[in-house]
Amino acid sequence: MKKIWFALILLSASALAKNGPQPCGRSLASELHSRVLFVGQFLAHPGEAGGLRPPAETPDFLLQTQRLITSVSDRVKPTVVHIESWSRRAGTRVKALGSGVVVTAEGKIVTNHHVVDKADQVQVVLDDRSRYDAVVLQRDKLTDLAVLQIKAPHPLPFASLADSEKVQVGQWVLAVGNPYGLDRTVSFGIISGKGRYIPGSEQGMTPLNDFLQTDANIDSGSSGGPLVDLQGQVVGINSSGIGRGIGFTIPAKVVREVMEGKVQQGQLERGWLGLYTQPFTRALAAYRGMPNVRGLLISDFAPGSPAARSGMQIGDVITELDGTAVEAEEEDEIQRFALQVSRLTPGGKVEIKVRRGSGITAVPVEVGLQPHLEGAEVETPYGFRVAEITGFRQQQFRLTEKSGVVVTEVLEGSPASEAGVEEGDLLLEWEDRPIETLDQVERLADAPAKPSLLLRFKKGQYRYFALLQQRGRKKS
């Protein structure tokens, strides 16, 4: 309650400053003082029942603030949708719930990637309770965004994207979504921070986001809903919350880049260098005899990558990328470097300056095309998922193999998990049959499930047998 009243004082001050001199010769300072005094008295004197004693008459500035917030809420809520998606996990049909926002009158919708990840069916429920099947136009795991399309018989109300570069810490915002299935719930808060970094949940994956942080509530089911300013424009798409008062939102700038980006084979085209880096901390700098050098330390290269062919060396410290200084003492600064690289044009040339020994070396690099992230995948009824090895999978799991089948997901408590199978393991044999392609796995996984299954895997340089004992449901 105190938070809201304090916020109202701030809004009142803003309104006073905008409206200029006050009537009857009162100064802005004295008018603001009287309003602060009013709110202070309102909070300080409890009523007979222990509650707050209401004033005899609600001041105009409070009513104006309330009308503004409810007006924005009323405009935005019709653009927010409820999303249901279905996928198959270990032979079981799984339903996921989330939110989204309509961004064109023709029915284009933005939501989170994790809301529709691996879904084979997606449905959207509009404000009027009408339900439509949706087509997933784009899935972008690196930004946790997805773009859907529905075919409605009439133009839809839609929300426009704000310029998130102009968003300020302390700015008021509304989060709208469907937490726990409660349709179009509105919560109120501020922008608590900008440029926040959240590590990727998947091994080897650096998310391409500098999140907005907000104290507006983002709960389970709110994912994919909009965060809007007091003009009703979308400043970002809500992604996750980690407790009351701490939520993370994907900036509208990133949303626009995903919507307008060039798609190749179902994936956005992005620049790629193939570098493994780590922060060049002050301790490392002092140890290397470079106490004043700031940058990124190169720890490895992806095999065959543009960086590996460029002449850069392991142990070099990147100090500049295409004329922009690179400084990284924390993990989130690596993420910002990854964002810079992703925005480079594939096929173009960039100059990277590195500190090597006591000198600075300028290295020209041709920007590559980011490898396809996932490739085709197959879900097995034994609690693990496998995929073909792509360039991204090579980088993700540090594989030397360029072909074959790799484990990309293992469900906790599944037969595969209990047998010690892990993500990044290579599947070599299925009941003594050598495995070389994903098609082989697909055919074998579609056969009736056995009570026990003997597989052979490779973990690093170690090969092992795993006996999977089936306790789940048969894949249908």
First-to-last C-alpha distance (Å) of the chain: 52
CA–centroid distance for 228 within its chain: 17
Cβ partners under 8 Å of residue 434, min gap 6 = 428
List the beta bridge partners of residue 366. Answer: 349
Residue labelled with tokens 């997933």: 136
Angle between helices 28-44 and 2-19 (to 10 degrees): 160
For residues 162, 163, 164 and 169, what is the CA-based torsion angle, rounded to 10 degrees?
-90
Catalytic site includes residue 114: yes
Q: Which of 12, 187, 223, 239 is catalytic?
A: 223
Alpha-carbon span 418 to 396, nearest angstrom: 24
Cβ partners under 8 Å of residue 389, min gap 6 = 375, 399, 401, 402, 403, 404, 405, 406
Catalytic site includes residue 223: yes
Q: Which of 12, 85, 99, 114 is catalytic?
A: 114
Q: Which of 12, 82, 144, 425 is catalytic?
A: 144
253 SS3 class: helix
Alpha-carbon span 261 to 353, nearest angstrom: 28
Catalytic site includes residue 372: no
Do residues 454 and 446 make contact, with C-beta atoms less than 8 angstroms apart?
no
Residues involved in catalysis: 114, 144, 223
